[in-house]
Amino acid sequence: MSEEGHSGGCQCGRVRFHVDGPLGRASICHCRMCQKAFGSFFGPLVSAANDRLAWTRGGPAWFRSSNKVRRGFCNHCGTPLAYDWGGPALELAIGAFDDPEAVPPTIQVGLEHRMSWFSRLADLPTRPPAEQSEVDRFQADIVSVQHPDRDT
């Protein structure tokens, strides 16, 4: 991410955002609502001050997931984008940033719903090289229609 700020967006490119300034605390939320909203084991989120966030192309659709929270997503491709609790900052999905590697989580929350096997993920075996060549051949023919990780 550049000194000018932090950009990101959805998979299809219809929704883009830019944060002009520093991001807040990055977290991994294991609560059941985040698991469902992200379709994953956890929800990776980082806060961005509302007055620093601009939706530069389109804007998210919103789903009220509880009496206190709404969640933003692209209504075309389904990419999870935001978590809004009504405060001075919005939580943005780390995976939606153009450079998610630059937004490492610093805290975990919602541990009461963390998968019991979560801490062992890094210890899982990797695909054997013989099987990997099959995957490589399959992937070589894939033509991605995903929006590039940059503003266009």
Please tell me the predicted confidence (pLDDT) of residue 2: 46
Residue range 28-38: mean pLDDT, rounded = 96
Report d(CA 48, CA 44) in Å as an integer.
13
Place of tokens 């490589």: 136
Residue 3 pLDDT grade (very low, low, confident, very high; cuts 50, 70, 90): low
Phi, psi for residue 56 in degrees, rounded to 5: -90, -15
Percent of the chain with pLDDT over 70: 98
User: What percent of the chain shows pLDDT beyond 90?
Assistant: 80
Among 33-42, 125-134, 135-144, the range with the most confident prediction by mean pLDDT is 33-42
Q: Where are the beta strands (DSSP E) in 30-103?
A: 43-49, 53-57, 61-64, 70-73, 80-84, 89-93
Q: What is the mean pLDDT of the chain?
A: 93
Task: Quickly list DSSP for 49-63.
Answer: EGGGEEEEES--EEE
| pLDDT band per the 50, 70, 90 thresholds, residue 21 | very high
Q: In this model, does residue 1 exceed pLDDT 50? A: no
Is the pTM higher than 0.85? The answer reads: yes
Work out the pLDDT band at 130, boundaries 50, 70, 90: confident
CA distance 130 to 92: 39
Please check the confidence at residue 64 and state whether its pLDDT lies above 90. Answer: yes
Delineate the domains of the chain, giving CATH numbers in brackets: 6-117+126-140 (2.170.150.70)
Contact assessment for residue 50 and residue 28, using Cβ atoms and an 8 Å cutoff: no
Q: Say whether pLDDT at 127 is over 90.
A: no
Round to whole Å and give the CA distance between 88 and 126: 42
- Tens-digit pLDDT profile for residues 65-114: 999 999 999 999 999 999 999 999 999 999 999 999 999 999 999 999 99
Tokens of 134: 């099959």
**Alpha-carbon gap, residue 62 to 73, rounded angstroms:** 6
